[in-house]
Amino acid sequence: MKKRKKNKDRITLHPVITFIILVAISVVLSGVLALFNISFSHPIVNEARMEYISVTESVNSLFSLSGIKYIFSNTVANFANFTVLSHLIIVLLGIGIMDYSGFLKTMIGVLTKKAKKNVITFVIVFICVISSIIDNIPFIAFIPLAALIFKYGKRNPNIGIIASFAALTCGYGLSITLTSIDSTLASLTKLAASVMNTSYTIGAFSMIFIMLVAIVLISAIITYVTENIIAKRLPSYDFEETEILTERKLTKAQIRGLLLAGFAGFIYLIIFIYNIIPGLPLSGNFLNKTAELYIDKLFGPDSFFSNGSVFIITLLFIIWGLFYGIGAKTIKSNREAVTALGYSLNGMGKTIMYIFAASTFISIFKQTNIGNVLVAGLSNLISSSGFTGLPLVILLFACSALGTIFMPGTVNKWTIMSAQVVPTFLSSGLSGEFAQVILRFGESVTLGLTPVFAYFIVYLAYLEKYSQEENALRLSTVIKYQVPYSIATGFILLVILVIWYLIGLPLGIGGAIAV
């Protein structure tokens, strides 16, 4: 029996080795596809002339001398510029001081003392689902926090990691208002529609009704899958005594720490919130006043929040952890405060190794342009299918889900697809915003399954951090954990789309299925 286990360990591929194999496959595949001149053309709209321009997407071969030169010349730069690494390190400074000082353990105990475990799971999932409004930062902050919440609640922290990543990815395309991504998509949708209808507009809340229903149902189904499938599938977890919340009442020191942390955090938030409200005396200083829509002023690519959101959130975490430590006397000196900041960075060696392997694979795969070619091909399939009505809805949904596996970037996908998909929908009597909703729903189904998605590596690294089984973690295993969520999400979102289409319900305020 032991001999069989040793043989199994030998053939189990480490995730880093799997990434190296994926790099090799990408290089060879790019050479083969380029050899056969695999390419697809797609139109884009020339905004100045309001006419279509044809763009050809072709595969870039890296199975060549120039390709090898690219790999060796850019691997270090791609790793250094991989924002996941820098963002993760910065956010972990804040999480570290909250954990070290005892703020997290005390706060989690207060919030979860009388709550049932499935209620706690639902709240975490719901917060993750609606957090898409602040872009990708929740992937950095919420996954490690969910792990700690489950750990201090004497539950396997891997359940929290898996559930939070599922909620973040399955809820990625769901938002009650236009996010910065949705705003950019709406601009592309309006531009594509304006060739046929120059007065076409999309409101900030034009999709709110269908999104609200999707958010609630997806949160519920992810909670169900977590508690009834994932939690039962994972092995038991061995806890250290310090990792378990006790039932005792809060001490005076802990109460003093919570009050001081709460007051300091409240002041910080009041200052920040006041500076993102327009129209008040000396307010609105953190808004990008060159943008037209408020959502772009707050979350647009050139906004203060977009560029500084990681540090804004980290500073809040540091304030909570530091002032709790001062009040509870768990941090007694400046040296101890600095030690607390680096607390969550202990043992980061494996994480950095994972991020290096993932960043290398992602940059090489993007350089091959295979994702662009596939999405352009899917776009051609939609426009040439001749489908109308419900078959067209299902086709776009399926193409969005498939395309996301190879091109997770929402804006990049819609940049290629919109000039063909939107006119196809308009010609079928369906609105451009309905096409945009379908795109977002479709990508929510498969985003958690693809290692091409940059934040997939955070999910993988934290499963590795909390894994207690030697040689048990494989890339296929961590993807397999997300499959039940993907299936359930795909079913729910498709049912919502079909019901909305058949009944003709409004998508939101001023948003309709038909034109």
Q: Please name the amino acid found at residue 336.
A: E
Instruction: Give the mean model confidence (pLDDT) for residues 128-147.
Output: 89
pLDDT digits (tens, 9 = 90+) for 18-34: 999 999 999 999 999 99
For Cα atoms 206, 212, 214, give the angle at the middle one, nearest 5 degrees.
110
Round the average pLDDT of the chain to a whole number and report it.
90
CB 81 within 8 A of CB 356: no
For Cα atoms 341, 344, 348, give the angle at the middle one, nearest 5 degrees.
120
User: What pLDDT band is residue 365 in, cutting at 50, 70 and 90?
Assistant: very high
pLDDT of residue 204: 79
Give the three-state DSSP class for 20: helix
pLDDT digits (tens, 9 = 90+) for 312-342: 999 999 999 999 999 999 999 999 999 999 9
pLDDT digits (tens, 9 = 90+) for 396-439: 999 999 999 999 999 999 999 999 999 999 999 999 999 999 99
pLDDT digits (tens, 9 = 90+) for 201-250: 888 789 999 999 999 999 999 999 999 999 999 988 887 765 555 556 88
2 or 432: which leads in pLDDT: 432
pLDDT of residue 369: 97
pLDDT of residue 35: 94
pLDDT digits (tens, 9 = 90+) for 268-277: 999 988 988 8
Rounded to the nearest 10 degrees, how much is the dihedral formed by the CA atoms of 491, 497, 503, 506? 140
pLDDT of residue 242: 58
Distance CA 176, CA 204 (A): 9
How long, in residues, is the chain? 515
Cross-strand partners of 41 = 56
**Which of 158, 347, 353 has the alpha carbon at shortest distance from 239?**
158
Least confident of 26-40, 58-72, 166-180: 166-180
Q: Sign of the CA dihedral 468, 469, 472, 476?
A: negative
User: What pLDDT band is residue 175 in, cutting at 50, 70 and 90?
Assistant: confident
Element (H, E) at 51: strand 51-58
Least confident of 153-157, 361-365, 422-426: 153-157
pLDDT of residue 52: 85
Distance CA 55, CA 46 (A): 11
Check whether 464 has a pLDDT greater than 50: yes
Check whether 6 has a pLDDT greater than 60: no
Distance CA 23, CA 412 (A): 22
Least confident of 173-182, 367-376, 448-457: 173-182
pLDDT of residue 280: 84
Q: Please name the amino acid found at residue 232.
A: K
Instruction: Give the mean model confidence (pLDDT) for residues 367-377.
Output: 97
CB 365 within 8 A of CB 117: no
**Which of 463, 356, 350 has the alpha carbon at shortest distance from 85?**
356
pLDDT of residue 178: 74
Q: Please state the pTM of the whole predicted model.
A: 0.92
CB 453 within 8 A of CB 463: no
CB 153 within 8 A of CB 115: no
Distance CA 134, CA 267 (A): 21
User: What pLDDT band is residue 371 in, cutting at 50, 70 and 90?
Assistant: very high
DSSP 436-475: HHHHHHHHHHHGGG-TTSTTHHHHHHHHHHH--STT---H
CB 376 within 8 A of CB 419: no
Rounded to the nearest 10 degrees, how much is the dihedral formed by the CA atoms of 484, 127, 356, 67? 70
pLDDT of residue 321: 95
45 or 438: which leads in pLDDT: 438
Distance CA 192, CA 197 (A): 9
Give the three-state DSSP class for 505: coil
Distance CA 110, CA 115 (A): 10
62 or 154: which leads in pLDDT: 62
Instruction: Give the mean model confidence (pLDDT) for residues 454-481.
Output: 88
Distance CA 182, CA 190 (A): 12
pLDDT of residue 246: 55
* Cα 34 versus chain centre, distance: 31
Check whether 152 has a pLDDT greater than 90: no
Element (H, E) at 42: strand 39-46
DSSP 86-147: HHHHHHHHHHHHHHHHTHHHHHHHHHHTT--HHHHHHHHHHHHHHGGGGTTHHHHHHHHHHH
* Residues 6+ positions from 105 with CB-CB distance below 8 Å: 99, 152, 245
Least confident of 173-182, 261-270, 419-428, 472-481: 173-182
284 or 241: which leads in pLDDT: 284
Cross-strand partners of 51 = 46
113 or 45: which leads in pLDDT: 45
Check whether 298 has a pLDDT greater than 90: no
Distance CA 362, CA 225 (A): 29
- Residue 205 class from Cβ within 10 Å (0-12 exposed, 13-18 middle, 19+ buried)? middle
